[in-house]
């Protein structure tokens, strides 16, 4: 991934940036002549000092795109990505704005789901090795690996349209789950005709698999509860309770969809006279044929990912039953995307407008009586699931009024990297990390020791600092925290 061409310096940024309130900074739109809106950074001073200048350049570049409203947004977990920074949010008017694959990411609908169990740490501790082995047997992981089931091309078309509903209809999930998945586990308007044969070939064998990199299935124990009422509503009952987190997306299928449409978008930008600050910002007017074709294909990939996480959940439940018997329960708390484009209504200067919201490494965090939120959660807000590293575990958050008013109902998705995979492999040994984590009570395994080295906890930002920055910026509120005890990675 090429780094953005810089036309800014740290000194220039620091002189121009003004603080709005604690952990909220703004770079005015007159900072560069090509900016259409300001850039907003929701970040602590400590994290800002470690932020790559390239990520700031990218969010400034995003502020130059046609139809962008309010401001371009960088969250506390931001780092440099493809065109748009990871940890970035941008919303565009549906009539005047654009859609960009770089603002959604290659792993379309990479997301997280959390399940709560009726087990405690006392139940699991004596059987940790058996549970790790069962999860490895039931949930394949790795680059290009095949999943637990193979579908025909006709069935794959059904998956693209039905999402998680396909999994449940075919016995790979529970009907109750669908209520607790973002958008019910199915984006309407997906069109398989807009997806290439190459994407179909890549996706047909990958349902029910984690993939590689930072994707994982993680057994965790609840260590902190700050809001007992909200936590209980989600099924998080007590300290010591065992929960399960699954992090994966649309696998090679979604990656191919994004790859297929990048040249289409580059041609469209030239066709419609859109000047790109960076070729990685390739885009098309949202309402153009090219924009709508990509949006329909993106929805196919998003539905594939919802289905994939539902199938993985089915096999994870089988793994738990193998170790703990048929009385074990794993209830879905929520499943949320953090690489997605959505048409949503938001208020801009007091006027409700329809926007195409790009969230890349960012989680939706709606509150209030919105129809997008499952009915049982409308009095507390939609759960925000924030993953960390193999050492730090995860948080559950909810949004705030500021989340809705300032960041289009969005907030952080994880710790965010600050070191490249190549640099991490040079610095750490996977085998040594595995031994070190075992000494801390965390059983970790992966398809290779190289993957463990790439995913070293030290390659990530401090999750506690990222969460505290979001809380101090008032775009999130803490509900609970969970520590990993078993990690299976791709």
pLDDT: which is higher, 38 or 420: 38
Strand partners, 3: none
155-181 residue pLDDT tens: 999 999 999 999 999 999 999 999 999
pLDDT tens sequence across 63-74: 999 999 999 999
Q: Are 304 and 160 in contact (CB under 8 A)?
A: yes
Q: How far is CA 19 from the centre of its chain?
A: 28
Measure the CA–CA gap between 233 and 67, rounded to whole angstroms: 39
Asked: is 10-418+460-489 a CATH 3.90.1860.10 domain? The reply is yes
Q: What is the pLDDT of residues 385-426, one digit of tens each?
A: 999 988 899 999 999 999 999 999 999 999 888 788 888 888
Place of tokens 């069962």: 134
Structure tokens at 127: 């059987």
Provide the H-helix boundaries in 333-481: 401-406, 421-427, 430-439, 449-454, 463-472
3-state secondary structure of 401: helix
pTM: 0.96
Q: In 72-127, where does DSSP find H-type helix?
A: 121-124
- Domain spans, the chain: 10-418+460-489
Supply the mean pLDDT for the chain.
95
Q: Which of 96, 30, 32 is nearest to 68 (CA)?
A: 96
CB atoms within 10 A of CB 69: 20
Compute CA 46 distance to the chain's CA centroid, rounded to the nearest angstrom.
23
Nearest Cα residue to 144 out of 201, 199, 206, 195: 206
CB atoms within 10 A of CB 329: 15
52 three-state secondary structure: coil
DSSP classification of residue 3: P
Per-residue tokens: 436: 């070190």
* pLDDT at residue 145 is higher than 80: no
Q: Which of 385, 411, 354 is nearest to 88 (CA)?
A: 411
Q: Which residues make beta-bridge pairs with 245? A: 114, 218
What does the pLDDT average to over 218-245? 98
pLDDT of residue 64: 98
Confidence of residue 447 (pLDDT cuts 50, 70, 90): confident
Q: How far is CA 381 from CA 91, 182, 356, 384, in A?
A: 21, 13, 22, 9
Which pair of structure tokens corresponds to residue 287? 């309402």
d(CA 451, CA 456): 9
Q: How far apart are alpha carbons 233 and 42 in whole angstroms?
A: 29
3-class SS of residue 252: helix
Q: How many of the other CB atoms lie within 10 Å of CB of 227?
A: 18
Q: Sorting pLDDT into bands at 50, 70 and 90, what band is 116? A: very high
Q: Which of 51-55, 97-101, 211-215, 366-370 has the lowest mean pLDDT?
A: 211-215
Q: Which of 305, 340, 301, 343 is nearest to 192 (CA)?
A: 301
Q: What gap in Å lies between CA 432 and CA 435, rounded to an integer?
A: 5
> Cα–chain-centroid distance for residue 139?
20
Confidence (pLDDT) at 280: 97
> Which tens digit of pLDDT belongs to each residue from 338-363?
999 999 999 999 999 999 999 999 99
Q: Say how many CA atoms lie within 13 Å of 416 toward its Cβ.
A: 34
- Annotated catalytic residues are 413
Q: Is pLDDT larger for residue 96 or for residue 419?
A: 96
Share of the chain above pLDDT 90, in %: 86
């Amino acid at each position: 991934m090429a780094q953005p061409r810089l036309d800014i310096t740290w000194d220039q940024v620091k002189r121009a940036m003004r603080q709005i309130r604690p952990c909220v900074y703004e770079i005015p739109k007159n900072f560069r002549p090509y900016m259409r809106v300001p850039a907003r950074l929701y970040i602590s001073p400590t994290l800002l000092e470690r932020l790559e200048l390239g990520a700031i350049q990218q969010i400034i570049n995003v502020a130059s795109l046609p139809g962008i409203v309010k401001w371009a947004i960088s969250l506390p977990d931001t780092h440099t990505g493809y065109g748009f920074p990871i940890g970035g949010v941008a919303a565009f008017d549906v009539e005047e704005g654009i859609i960009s694959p770089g603002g959604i990411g290659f792993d379309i609908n990479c997301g997280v789901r959390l399940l709560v169990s009726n087990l405690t740490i006392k139940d699991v501790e004596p059987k940790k090795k058996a549970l790790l082995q069962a999860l490895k047997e039931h949930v394949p992981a790795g680059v290009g690996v095949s999943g637990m089931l193979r579908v025909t091309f006709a069935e794959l078309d059904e998956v693209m349209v039905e999402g998680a509903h396909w999994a449940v209809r075919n016995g790979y999930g529970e009907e109750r789950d669908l209520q607790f998945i973002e958008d019910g586990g199915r984006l309407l308007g997906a069109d398989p005709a807009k997806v290439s044969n190459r994407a179909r070939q890549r996706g047909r064998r990958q349902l029910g698999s984690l993939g590689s990199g930072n994707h994982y299935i993680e057994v965790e124990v609840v260590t902190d509860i700050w809001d007992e009422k909200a936590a209980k509503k989600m099924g998080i009952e007590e300290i010591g309770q065992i929960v399960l987190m699954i992090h994966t997306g649309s696998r090679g299928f979604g990656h191919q969809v994004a790859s297929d449409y990048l040249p289409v978008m580059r041609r469209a930008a030239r066709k419609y006279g859109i000047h790109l600050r960076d070729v990685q910002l390739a885009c098309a007017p949202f309402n153009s044929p090219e924009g709508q074709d990509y949006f329909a294909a993106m929805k196919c990939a998003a539905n594939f990912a919802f289905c994939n996480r539902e199938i993985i959940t089915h096999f994870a439940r089988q793994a738990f039953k193998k170790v703990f018997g048929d009385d074990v329960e794993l209830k879905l708390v929520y499943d949320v995307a953090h690489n997605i484009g959505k048409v949503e209504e938001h208020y801009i200067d007091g006027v409700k407008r329809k926007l195409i919201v790009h969230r890349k490494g960012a989680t939706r965090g709606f509150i209030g009586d919105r129809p997008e939120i499952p009915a049982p959660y409308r009095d507390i807000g939609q759960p925000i699931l924030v993953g960390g590293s193999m050492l730090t575990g995860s948080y559950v958050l909810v949004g705030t009024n500021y989340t809705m008013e300032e960041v289009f109902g969005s907030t952080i998705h994880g710790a965010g990297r600050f070191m490249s995979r190549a640099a991490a492999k040079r610095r750490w040994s996977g085998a040594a990390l595995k031994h070190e984590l075992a000494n801390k009570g965390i059983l970790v395994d992966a398809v290779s020791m190289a993957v463990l080295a790439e995913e070293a906890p030290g390659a990530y930002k401090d999750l506690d600092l990222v969460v505290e920055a979001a809380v101090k910026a008032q775009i999130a509120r803490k509900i609970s925290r969970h520590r990993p005890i078993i990690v299976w990675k791709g």
